[in-house]
Amino acid sequence: MNKAFEAFDEHLLELARFVEEAESMEKGLHQLSVLVGHAMDCRHCSIMLVKQDPETGEPRLRVEAHQGALVPQAYGEFQRFGAGIAGQVAAAGKGLLINDLHHSEFADAARRGQEVEVVDVISVPVVLDGEVIGVINIDTPNDRRRLTREDFRMASILALVVGKSVLVHRLKGLLRTSFTQLALARQPGAATGPITHAPERVARLLARTLYDEMSRAGFSRDHVLTAATELIGQVSEDQE
């Protein structure tokens, strides 16, 4: 039994406490990547979440947090389902344990340079209510041991905790403002089920509620368009 597995119970409790106490999704995901890497006793861990392509609406994976070495441009890349190792995991909804990556069938899909040392990789899906919402990638044990099926099972359990963490933070966000509470109250059952892990659906619900409220208050369509333009402007400022 390896060292990481011997301390697994303690790490799992640490993750559970974190899920309850973390303040925000952004800060939380980074800390989750650190905790998962620590629990697996590995140097590298990245968490990718599913985002919709703004043009096609198709699901894409994007790196949201990582521990260890990762090229900066990785945060700006979107990986489609079925492409690369993480994309294949997301498309199939099943994890992979890849031993000796550069001499495996996944060598061409590896998005990294050729390493001298043997590299084992674990990639597991993050699932909520049967839907893949992300992927966790782990490699390079600190003690240079080889990754095993035991490690794969540990990573799969940790992915469940990460999934619940995402759910908890989204629920907190939904209930944080009175405007959101108003929007949810107008749609019975909206605070439970798939909407809790479908931010695009929530965004559309909020947009419809804003439109309805502005219309009831007597604002014209031009005023609604002004509000929409202001929202777009705020998004642009945040990206600068």
Q: Is the pLDDT score of 1 beyond 50?
A: no
**What is the rounded average pLDDT of the residues 130-142?**
90
Kindly provide the residue ranges of all beta strands, DSSP E only, lying in 90-238, ordered along the sequence. Answer: 96-98, 121-128, 131-141
DSSP-assigned states of every residue in 44-100:
EEEEEEEEE-TTT--EEEEEEEEES---GGGGG--EETTSHHHHHHHHHT--EEESS
Q: Whole-number mean pLDDT of the chain?
A: 77
pLDDT tens, residue by residue, 167-201? 776 666 655 566 666 666 666 555 455 555 566 77
- The two structure tokens encoding residue 86: 């993480």
pLDDT of 203 reads: 74
pLDDT of 96 reads: 95
pLDDT of 172 reads: 66
Strands 59-67 and 121-128: unpaired
What is residue 222's three-state secondary structure? helix
**What is the rounded average pLDDT of the residues 35-42?**
86
Query: What distances in angstroms separate CA 224 from CA 93, 218, 230, one per listed residue?
Result: 41, 10, 10
- Name, in order, each residue with C-beta under 8 angstroms of 155's C-beta and a sequence gap of 6 or more: 36, 40, 95, 122, 124, 136, 138
- Give the containing element (helix H, strand E) for 43: strand 42-52
- Name, in order, each residue with C-beta under 8 angstroms of 156's C-beta and a sequence gap of 6 or more: 95, 124
pLDDT of 66 reads: 84
More confident residue, 32 or 183: 32
CB 121 within 8 A of CB 88: no
Query: What is the pTM (predicted TM-score) of this model?
Result: 0.67
d(C-alpha 126, C-alpha 156), whole Å: 8
Q: Is the pLDDT score of 89 beyond 90?
A: yes
**What is the rounded average pLDDT of the residues 8-22?**
60
Instruction: List the end-to-end C-alpha distance of the chain, in Å, as a whole number.
Output: 49
DSSP state of 110: -
Torsion of CA 61, 64, 70, 76, to 10 degrees: 60
pLDDT tens, residue by residue, 59-74? 899 888 888 777 666 6
Burial class (CB in 10 A: 0-12, 13-18, 19+), 122: buried
How would residue 131 be classed by pLDDT, with cut points 50, 70 and 90?
Answer: confident
